[in-house]
Amino acid sequence: MNSPENNIASSTRSVMGHAAHAGLPMGLYLTAVSMCLLGSLKLDVLPILMLPLVCGIPIVLYRLMKRTCTEDPSCCRVSSLWLMGIYTFIFGSLICALVSNLYIVFIEPGFVKDYIMMAIRDMESSPNAEAFASQIDLMHRAVEGHALPGSMQFVASMAWTTCFFGSLLSLITARVLTWRRASKRSGFPG
């Protein structure tokens, strides 16, 4: 027999299912941020575009979590939303890492070295170049000694950093979202 309870149970997803569903848009968004960084050596405007994209990450996460709460109210608890956010950033970071690594390996294999050399040139041309003398020397020695990270090390570090800060952001966003929903139910402004 097909009761309404069975339809509800079959239409709900697990927290990981919701995160997997949200991981694709988050991955595409994180990939856009990453491409701004990776393409910054070719187009000077991309770092300027990167700042608003980074600032938009909490908004994207909030909308994804809010959609989950609307579709499945049983997931609208801080613990569930926080876990969903962590998984969303893990899945999104995997997508971003794949695309970023493909870019670095096939399109711009010398990205890390070129980026460091650009930073050295920028610091050397700065009016306060003498204040950066020790950093410039350290970076020159790293380039000359082939001590720079490889493409996979760079991408893995970027992915782990994204997951770490994404988990913190997920906790904050989960608290805000559940607080707003609770205050709307109780009639308080929020």
Task: List pLDDT tens digits, range 137-159.
Answer: 999 999 999 999 999 999 999 99
Task: List pLDDT tens digits, range 64-82.
Answer: 999 999 999 999 999 999 9
Q: Which residues contact 40 (CB under 8 A, 6 or more apart)?
A: 46, 47, 50, 115
Residue 186's pLDDT is 72
Task: List pLDDT tens digits, range 16-62.
Answer: 999 999 999 999 999 999 999 999 999 989 999 999 999 999 999 99
Task: Give the predicted TM-score (pTM) of the model.
Answer: 0.86
Query: Which residue, 152, 21, 50, is CA-closest to 160?
Result: 152
Assess whether pLDDT exceeds 80 at residue 9: no
Confidence class for position 182, pLDDT limits 50, 70, 90: confident
Query: What backbone phi and psi angles, to 5 degrees, belong to 61?
Result: -60, -45
Residue 82's pLDDT is 98
Residue 187 Cα to chain centre, angstroms:
34
Residue 50's pLDDT is 96
Looking at every residue in the chain, the average pLDDT score rounds to 91
CA angle 67, 69, 71 (to 5 degrees): 65
Residue 187's pLDDT is 66
